[in-house]
Amino acid sequence: MAAPAPKFTGASAAFGTLPVLKEERELGFIDHSWINIGLAIATWAFLLGGSTALVVGARDGIYAIIIGNVIGVSIMAVSVCISTGKFGIEQFTLMRSVFGPTGILILVGFFLAIYGVGWSAVLSIMFGRAISGVMNQVGGTHIGENDLGVTLFAILAIAISWLLLWKGPTAVKWLNRFVGPGKLILCFGILFLIFSHKSWSDIANAAPLAPFDDKRINFMIAVEFNLAAGFGWWPVLGNISRFTRTPRAALWPNLIGIFAAAVLGELVGLFAALSLGSHDPTAWMIPLGGAFVGVTALLFVGLANITAIVSIFYGMCLAMRQAGGRYFEALPWGVLTGALFLPVIVIAFFPGQIYDNFFKFLAWTALGFAPLSGVTAVDYLILRRGRIKQCDVFNDGADSDYAFWGGINPASFVALAAGGAVYYALFDPQSLAAHGPFVWVSASVPACFVAAIVHYVLTRTMVMPARRGGY
Amino acid sequence: MTIASENPDNEIRRELNRRLNIISAPGYEDPARADISGREIGIWFIVTAAILIGALAMWSGGN
């Protein structure tokens, strides 16, 4: 007979990383789908749709959004959701079986921090621009889109997010009850307003906002942005699917929720950007809805961004604290979260450089997440055949199967580097310069497959013969 | 406090051990812990490939 559950006194966030039991799995197929829909239809979907409109028109944009998202989501979902759904273990703890305990600390501390800080900076600047728009409309101010006022409002968003994260993450759950349905209403509201002002032929004939000369490259860059969006769910979804009740409920809602809902949100962004000639969602609301509706929509965008920042940071801080082990355990939760917000504050002083170059940040993240998806998929599904020693995942000692060499699996890191190098060789995320066969195969897809193949070969020839990794 | 604490008898470690004992008990049944079938993964990729091919066909048909 199992021992009775203890009464927790610590209220530590780290309890959230333990394996979930059957009675704690709350998500069936429908629940998981709804959560994913709420995640996918967010202000970032509008930004992604707006970024797509930079290089392609409506028709090409629709197909680029579908193609990029379906490839990215199909690979990303099998790479994280099946394993976390089965074992119910926090994603970055489970990934110690791929990268080793020290390896995952490096990965979380470096890559996830850049991802979390980058996205939070983009969303806080978006908040800043939204509230500046409200002030300009209601208060008669004249805050420009890159003025200090935007930065100050962005810092206000960061401060509110930090307070929520520190003192009351449960408040975000309460807020999300309004924000979730509100995002759906906003989506359909924008669509209604667009089509009440413009005909389909107006939108279909609208020129992309800032295309390159080559039409084929424009299309593939648009696909690449959306591949990045699909692969970009990698650090988020595993920690949701671990609460699902069946393997089917862990996998398929990603297609219904993430893919379909993200496509809808991005299409709204694409059409709005093409109709209004701006890729910035905060510039759409007042021209579309007039003063009252526009100001209300902007206030809602601001609120939605706060909840999104808190959600991103909560997962990131949890992962960092768990991966950091005894190095981070002495840090109070408020200090850890506050320290991670500091770089976001610094970045907020450069709204134009960050927010208006959002698509470059997106491409940089794909350089990391596409290879990560390939490595984690091949490791769990092919090399391990779905078998992981749960005790060893939580064991930091040298006797753990997943200690590899000094806590790092070099095979997985070499594979990530190989995938990243392939990506960079095909597509420069900074200049958006395309090389070689990019126009036919994109950059994310070959990066994902090369990383998977390198990891498979190195594991078979180096790790397994050395009897490391518990394969 | 984390699982990796230097103190091996911390509150989280005790709870982790309790959970691992429950999960590894022979009679423990949790449908979520069943292996996903190769057929299910195959269907997943067939469906997503069908969406992809459909989108590619419609795009290339218009160009």
Which residues from A are below 8 Å from B6, CB to CB? 326
Q: What is the pLDDT of residues A220-251, one digit of tens each?
A: 999 999 999 999 999 888 888 998 999 999 99
Mean pLDDT calculated for residue range A434-452: 95
Return the CA Rg of chain A: 22
- The reply to whether B52 falls in a domain is yes
The question of ipTM being above 0.95 is answered as: no
Nearest to A277 by CA among A266, A288, A263: A288
User: Are A23 and A243 spatial neighbours (Cβ–Cβ below 8 Å)?
Assistant: no
Which of B12, B21, B45 shows the shortest C-beta gap to A74? B45
The DSSP H or E segment spanning B2 is: none
- The reply to whether B47 falls in a domain is yes
pLDDT at A170: 64
Query: How high does pLDDT run on average in chain A?
Result: 88
User: Are B3 and A394 spatial neighbours (Cβ–Cβ below 8 Å)?
Assistant: yes
- The reply to whether B3 falls in a domain is no
| pTM of the complete model | 0.90
Q: How many domains does chain B have?
A: 1
Which of A19, A60, A250 shows the shortest C-beta gap to B23? A19
Cα distances from A352 to residues A128, A145, A263, A273, in angstroms, run 12, 8, 27, 18
Nearest to A228 by CA among A414, A44, A470, A90: A44
Provide long-range contacts, Cβ within 8 A and 24+ apart, for A263-266.
Answer: A263/A65, A263/A66, A263/A69, A264/A41, A264/A45, A264/A187, A265/A40, A265/A41, A265/A42, A265/A45, A265/A46, A265/A48, A265/A49, A265/A183, A265/A187, A266/A45, A266/A46, A266/A48, A266/A49, A266/A52, A266/A65, A266/A69, A266/A226, A266/A229
Q: How many CB pairs under 8 A join A and B?
A: 137
Q: Do B41 and A390 touch (CB under 8 A)?
A: no
Q: Return the CATH fold of A31-463.
A: Hydantoin permease (1.10.4160)
- The reply to whether B40 falls in a domain is yes
- The reply to whether B21 falls in a domain is yes
Return the SS3 of B25.
Answer: coil
| A393 Cβ contact list (under 8 Å, min separation 6) | A89, A93, A94, A96, A97, A402
Which of A22, A326, A390 shows the shortest C-beta gap to B4? A326
- The reply to whether B6 falls in a domain is no
Q: Which residue of B lies nearest to A60 if distances are taken between CA atoms?
A: B59
Q: Which residue of B lies nearest to A324 if distances are taken between CA atoms?
A: B4
Q: What is the pLDDT of residues A376-423, one digit of tens each?
A: 999 999 999 999 998 899 888 888 999 999 999 999 999 999 999 999
Which residues from A are below 8 Å from B55, CB to CB? 63, 66-67, 70
Q: Do B5 and A246 touch (CB under 8 A)?
A: no
A447–chain B nearest CA distance, Å: 19
Nearest to A47 by CA among A314, A226, A231: A226
Q: Which residue of B lies nearest to A28 if distances are taken between CA atoms?
A: B32
- As a whole number of angstroms, the distance between CA A110 and CA A371 comes to 15
| A293 Cβ contact list (under 8 Å, min separation 6) | A189, A193, A285
- The reply to whether B1 falls in a domain is no
Domain boundaries of chain A, sorted by first residue: 31-463
A245 Cβ under 8 Å from any chain B Cβ: yes
Q: Which domain holds residue B15?
A: 11-61
Which of B4, B32, B51 shows the shortest C-beta gap to A325? B4
- The reply to whether B57 falls in a domain is yes
Checking if the pLDDT of A3 tops 60, the result is no
